[in-house]
Amino acid sequence: MQLNRRSLLKLTAASAAAGAIGLPASAQAIDELVIAYNVNLPSWDPTTGPSAVNPTIQGLYQSVFDQFILQQPDLKPAPGLLTEWGWNDDRTQVWMTVREGVTWHDGSPFTADDVAWSLARAADPATGNPINFIWGTLANHRVEGNKVIADVKSFDPTIFKWMYFLTGYVLPKAYYEKVGAEGFEAAPIGTGPYMVEKFERNAFVRLKANESYWGGAPEFKTVTIKFVTDAAARVAEVESGSSHVTLEMPYEEYDRLKGTLNGAAAPISDIGMIFLNDIEVMTDPNVRKAAALAIDKQAIIDRLLSGYGVKIDTLQTPEYDAYDASITVPYDEAGAIAALAASGFGPDNPVKFKIQTTKGFKPKDYEMVQAIVGLWRKVGIEAEIEVYEIAKHYELRAADTLAPAAFYNWGNSVGDPTTSTGFAMFGPSPHSVWDGEDLIGMIGPLWGEADEAKRIEGWKAVDKYIAENALVIPLLQYVQPILSAKGVTVTPHASGALLPHLMKRA
């Protein structure tokens, strides 16, 4: 069925027929699925360059490529291209058994060589893999039958978690070496559920189902992902029926349309937080505690985000491994005023500092900071807002020159404490802003802790310490709104990736 009925030649007929204003009936069967996606896809190589660390486009990569290990919608790992994996007894070697009977999109067989080559390539600094510091801990990758063995140069407990996280993708060795980087960029192939049929930069990508996919052929045979960066345009696309699925629209629009369309809003592994830099007034614990206590997180979620958001008090979300529900930071306006008074501040003599935020990068980012500044103003904190671009945020953070407070979001679809509290709060890491020696001492030993249970307990203690001293102000776990036509049901993935192969006909 031709998806859209509109064309200029039929304009007169259409406008006459469009007498019945309202939603064009989109309930009839859909065979060509159209998704209005919110970001452009800059490059097809999921292992190098800035796009490799951009969480919002991992969904596109996961439709075409497979990761070493499959991550299920609840973030838990499951056998993927690797059926089993683990360390040897003294943790000097890692071993992986490779799934058999899998083929690349060009029909060539997928073998253990591809896995070994992909790991070696990721370990080689020359390829520019941004997660080289993890993959570099393995060396001397070798193939034995359908097993891959590698020596552990320095033990990292999270090595296997990275195999279903950023850059953890398996690329075709033979094909890549034949066509080279540029050739691969022009015609990428993987083992994933969909093959790339046609790619038009900044416009759309047309995918064809991989009938011999090892995880079962997907239901929709052809999928078109249109890149529609403007939220209002995405809503219009789905409302007018010219797209079937879209995501990341304002929550008010989600509420308005979830009745007439199918709506799914599930929490994802992305949190909103306020970085605190240990400079100026932020070195005073009273000011930090007051700032944390004065924020009515639930009211902000209810009023600004129409209730779509999960209040959090540590950098872990309920789905993460080291989540501890017992650590809480209540909303306590009186307590905040008391804490400020202890340091001689109050509504009449407010403490002053600058808070930085992006505007329009995450849903209502700027409005949330305005609301927080409003709440702070009541207790005697005078915060001046400075808007900057996301590029400037990264640079300031890398140079550790962020303002005393800076609003930012932190994705961590692996759910491991090292990639949330770890990198955000560990002094030496270029991404952290808090340089307190006490925290560095507590976190240091956890990097190499072999005993998993002891490691998780260690991170929970760190989170408790952080919450008590308000070294950072976690705010909320984002909820991802997805709207789809009546004919499509979407299974949301907790990592925030929108995966067409998880979509079924309603």
Partner 1 sequence: MQLLRTFLLRLLTTAITLIGVAVIVFVVIRVVPGNPIAMMLPPGATDEDIARLTAQYGLDKPIPEQFLIWASGVLQGDFGTSITARQPVLDLVLGRLPATLELSIMALVIAVILGGVMALTGTRARGTKVEAGIDVANGMALSVPDFLWGLVLILLFGVLVPVFHISGRVTPSLDLPFTTNFYLFESVLRLRFDLWADIVSHMFMPALALAIPLAAIIGQLLKQSLKETMHLDYVTLSRTKGYGENHVITREALPNAILPTLTLVGVQFTFLIGGTVIIERLFSYEGLGNMAIDAVINRDLPLIQGIVILFAVIFTAVNLVVDLSYALLNPRLRHG
Partner 2 sequence: MADGRAQIRRRAGPRLWLSALWLGLLALAALLAPWIAPKDPLAQDLFLGRLPPFWAAGAEPGYWLGTDSLGRDVLSRLIHGARLALTVALVAGSITCLIGATLGLLAGYLRGWVDIVISRAIDIWMAFPPVLFSILLIAVLGPGLSSIIIAIVVIDWTRFARVVRAEAMAQGAMDYVASAQVAGRSRLSTMVTEILPNVLPTIVVLLTLEMGIAVIVEAILSFVNLSISTDDPTWGGMIAEGRTSIHQAWWVLIFPLIALFLTVLSFSQLGEGLKDRYDPVLR
Give per-residue burial for 361-397: e unless 16+ CB within 10 Å, then b: ebbbbbebbebbbebbeebbbebebeebeeeebeebb
Q: How is residue 78 annotated by DSSP?
A: E
Contact between residue 243 and residue 235 where contact means Cβ atoms under 8 Å apart:
no
Residues 385-444 interacting with partner 2 (rule: CB under 8 A)? 385-389, 391-392
Contact between residue 40 and residue 202 where contact means Cβ atoms under 8 Å apart:
yes
| 431 lines the binding site for partner 1 (CB under 8 A) | yes
153, 178, 359, 504: residue in contact with partner 2 (rule CB under 8 A): 359
User: For the chain, what percentages of helix, strand and coil (3-state, to nearest 5) are there?
Assistant: 35, 25, 40
Binding-site partner at residue 86 among partner 1, partner 2, none, CB < 5 to 8 Å by type: none
What is the full DSSP assignment across 184-197?
A: HHHS---SSSEEEE
Q: How long is the chain?
A: 506
Residues 222-261 interacting with partner 2 (rule: CB under 8 A)? 231-232, 250, 252-253, 256
Residue whose CB is less far from partner 1, 336 or 483: 483
Residue whose CB is less far from partner 2, 139 or 236: 236
Shortest distance, CB of residue 346 to partner 2, whole angstroms? 19
Site string for partner 2, 321-340 (x = CB under 8 A): --------------------
Binding-site partner at residue 347 among partner 1, partner 2, none, CB < 5 to 8 Å by type: none
155, 331, 366, 423: residue in contact with partner 1 (rule CB under 8 A): 423
Binding-site partner at residue 224 among partner 2, partner 1, none, CB < 5 to 8 Å by type: partner 1
Helix or strand holding residue 408 (H, E): strand 405-411
CA distance 91 to 64: 33
Residues 279-298 interacting with partner 1 (rule: CB under 8 A)? none
Name the segment binding partner 2 (CB under 8 A); options: 334-342, 364-372, 446-454, 466-474: 364-372
Query: CB within 8 A of 407, min separation 6: which ones?
Result: 272, 273, 274, 275, 355, 356, 357, 358, 365, 368, 369
Question: Exposed, middle or buried, 9 (CB in 10 Å: 0-12/13-18/19+)?
Answer: exposed
CA distance 496 to 74: 11
DSSP β-bridge partners for residue 409: 272
| 48 lines the binding site for partner 1 (CB under 8 A) | yes
DSSP β-bridge partners for residue 67: 169
Residue whose CB is less far from partner 2, 100 or 389: 389
| 435 lines the binding site for partner 1 (CB under 8 A) | no
Helix or strand holding residue 335 (H, E): helix 333-342
Binding-site partner at residue 360 among partner 2, partner 1, none, CB < 5 to 8 Å by type: partner 2
Shortest distance, CB of residue 377 to partner 2, whole angstroms? 8
Specify the residue for token string 């990592």. 495
CA angle 155-191-46, nearest 5°?
Answer: 55
Residue whose CB is less far from partner 1, 237 or 321: 237
Residues 345-404 interacting with partner 1 (rule: CB under 8 A)? 388-398
CA distance 143 to 443: 36
| 373 lines the binding site for partner 2 (CB under 8 A) | yes
Binding-site partner at residue 429 among partner 1, partner 2, none, CB < 5 to 8 Å by type: partner 1
Shortest distance, CB of residue 299 to partner 2, whole angstroms? 5
Question: Exposed, middle or buried, 112 (CB in 10 Å: 0-12/13-18/19+)?
Answer: buried
What is the Cα gyration radius of the chain? Answer: 24
Shortest distance, CB of residue 336 to partner 1, whole angstroms? 32
Q: How is residue 212 annotated by DSSP?
A: T
Residues in contact with partner 2, counted by CB under 8 A, come to a total of: 28
| 370 lines the binding site for partner 2 (CB under 8 A) | yes
Binding-site partner at residue 7 among partner 1, partner 2, none, CB < 5 to 8 Å by type: partner 1
Name the segment binding partner 2 (CB under 8 A); options: 99-107, 180-188, 296-304, 463-471: 296-304
| 241 lines the binding site for partner 1 (CB under 8 A) | yes
CA distance 134 to 359: 33
3-state secondary structure of 475: strand
Shortest distance, CB of residue 455 to partner 1, whole angstroms? 17
Q: Give backbone dihedrals phi and psi of 95, rounded to 5 degrees, phi first.
A: -130, 150
| 343 lines the binding site for partner 2 (CB under 8 A) | no
Binding-site partner at residue 387 among partner 1, partner 2, none, CB < 5 to 8 Å by type: partner 2
Q: How is residue 24 annotated by DSSP?
A: P
Contact between residue 262 and residue 483 where contact means Cβ atoms under 8 Å apart:
yes
Residue whose CB is less far from partner 1, 26 or 262: 26
| 78 lines the binding site for partner 1 (CB under 8 A) | no
Binding-site partner at residue 32 among partner 1, partner 2, none, CB < 5 to 8 Å by type: partner 1
Binding site for partner 2 (CB under 8 A): 231-232, 250, 252-253, 256, 296, 299-300, 303-304, 359-360, 364, 366-367, 370-371, 373-374, 384-389, 391-392
